[in-house]
A and B are shown apart, each in its own frame.
Chain A
Amino acid sequence: MAAKPGTASTTYSPVDPTHKTKPSIFTDSDWVRPDSRGFQQCRPAFFRTGAVNSASGSAYAEFGNTKVIVSVFGPRESKKAMMYSDVGRLNCNVSYTTFATHVRGQGSDNKEFSSMLHKALEGAIILESFPKTTVDVFALVLESGGSDLPVVISCASLALADAGIMMYDLVTSVSVSCLGKNLLIDPILEEESCQDGSLMIACMPSRYEVTQLTVTGELSAPNLSEAMQLCLDACAKLAQIMRSCLKEAASAAEE
């Protein structure tokens, strides 16, 4: 640090967090997204399985600046206090590192993510295949760069597949933001902070079933159906990427 002695040392923040005024470009019809993507273009996705050695299965995902690591433990014995159950239990937890957000420790605002992850995954897992036991899914957001929950959900289903938990299908998730008249797929943090409405879908692409969906803010009915179709198409493509990642890992293990 080149701070001169005597001057009060202030912490450095990469982006001024108080800068929240809506940039004028967002209202124009021909503006470009901050990362120069097309409106209906997702960020490049990167997946890697086997990120944590001690876990039964784990995965790392990176979508632009959003970086997430998920590890899966189990099936292992349920806690003693739990009652007998002839289907397995799923326990999900999403946490943020303190340095994941621009303002330190802001990630704890997203308390409902754990239950949302649980709801998105439980429909896809064949819980009957591990009675009396629990599968723990722990997700950690290393860096929050927008669309955190969809990335967590996709990454968690990949980690479950890596752990060999039986599932009906992979769960993929994509969100769409509505800004004025435009629909933006896979929004980044800046876009999320000034969105008028947003839609998140988690689905099983091969079965064409939605396991979780949330809408926040105002969306008209035609906009909503367009956004849903956009999400579902993107989910199907994301599933292909995830499948090829699993195949790569499997063929590497054989050699």
Chain B
Amino acid sequence: MVGLSEGEKEFIKGGIAQDLRSDGRKRYTYRPIYVETGVIPQANGSARVRLGATDVIASVKAELGKPSALQPDKGKVALFIDCSPTAEPTFEGRGGEELSAELSSALQRCLLGSKSGAGAGIDLSSLIVVEGKVCWDLYIDGLVISSDGNLLDALGAAIKAALSNTGIPTVHVVAGASNDEQPEVDISDEEFLHFDTSGVPVIVTLTKVGKHYIVDATSEEESQMSSAVSISINRQGHICGMTKRGGSGIDPSVILDMISVANFVSRQLIEKLDSEISAAEANEEDS
């Protein structure tokens, strides 16, 4: 919980109105992003993203499973977010659960696309090993270590970085199994397949404080928000998902305005994130 005096509240709101926020940023400037990849050796891919004092880890684990009967030609992806009480005492017990569920469903909407698969960041048909029999189940887990606002953007970036760090072992199917049997597979521990993560969208959250909206709000700024819209945008500038938080209503024209701002900001964010991810991967290989 953020405790602010009336004066501090006015200071934050006044700063945003004058395009100079309390930490010296402009309204559409992000805090510096630091990306580290391969932080969890047990996982197939992992990344840690720091955005100011916000610190999150995402890990990707792949397990062999059976595709669902409804979509025999696609793998499965599950996404969970955990808000640890180490980040904030209010996350203990139910408090964290509620936020975790909210973040998970927002990320699922923003990253996994619709039912037909359009707009998804991950190509599910690349996860199939034997159609209808064997596929990869991808478990994406996010963990909030420290929270200073803008969790959704940070988690989105961490998942993008973790996916590009993920190597899925190549699988050789042993030939000769009859149609009804579960085919035998041989998992290679040397060859790995990497994802094409260029299609994974980034999430830009615009937080409305007073008349203006800002990107990458700190938790102090978030406590003053009237509403926030999270927009996920891919490299082509297409919108892949959108959610709104906060109680008060927004005029529809403002939403369209927000989308064009998010489009502009997302281009810079994707560029920044790409260079950070490749730097992190180079760093990992050196060490």
Give the number of residues in B that approach A within 8 Å (Cβ atoms).
40
In the complex the two chains form, what is the Cα distance from A128 to B130 in whole Å?
59
Please pick, from A112, A210, A217, the residue contacting B241 in the complex, using a CB distance under 8 A: A217
Residues of A within 8 A of B114 (CB): 195-198, 216-218
Does any Cβ of B come within 8 Å of A207's Cβ? yes
CB distance from A157 to the nearest CB of B (A): 13
- Chain B 224-264: CB-based contact to A (< 8 A → 1; otherwise 0): 00010101001001111111111111111001100110010
Does any Cβ of A come within 8 Å of B113's Cβ? yes
CB distance from B259 to the nearest CB of A (A): 7
- Chain A 221-240: CB-based contact to B (< 8 A → 1; otherwise 0): 10011001000100000000
**Secondary structure type dominating chain B contacts:** mixed
Contact A216 B101 (CB under 8 A): no
How many Cβ-Cβ contacts under 8 Å join chain A to chain B? 117
Contact A210 B119 (CB under 8 A): no
Please pick, from A112, A211, A224, the residue contacting B101 in the complex, using a CB distance under 8 A: A112
In the complex the two chains form, what is the Cα distance from A208 to B114 in whole Å?
28
- Chain A 6-23: CB-based contact to B (< 8 A → 1; otherwise 0): 000000000001101010
Does any Cβ of B come within 8 Å of A140's Cβ? no
Residues of B within 8 A of A217 (CB): 113-116, 118-120, 240-241
Q: Which residues of A contact B (CB under 8 A)?
A: 17-18, 20, 22, 111-112, 115, 119, 122-124, 192-198, 203-204, 207-221, 224-225, 228, 232
Name 22 A/B residue pairs within 8 A (Cβ), A-sorted: A112-B105, A115-B98, A115-B105, A123-B247, A195-B116, A196-B118, A197-B119, A203-B252, A209-B250, A209-B251, A210-B250, A211-B249, A215-B243, A217-B113, A217-B114, A217-B115, A217-B120, A219-B119, A221-B237, A224-B259, A228-B252, A228-B256
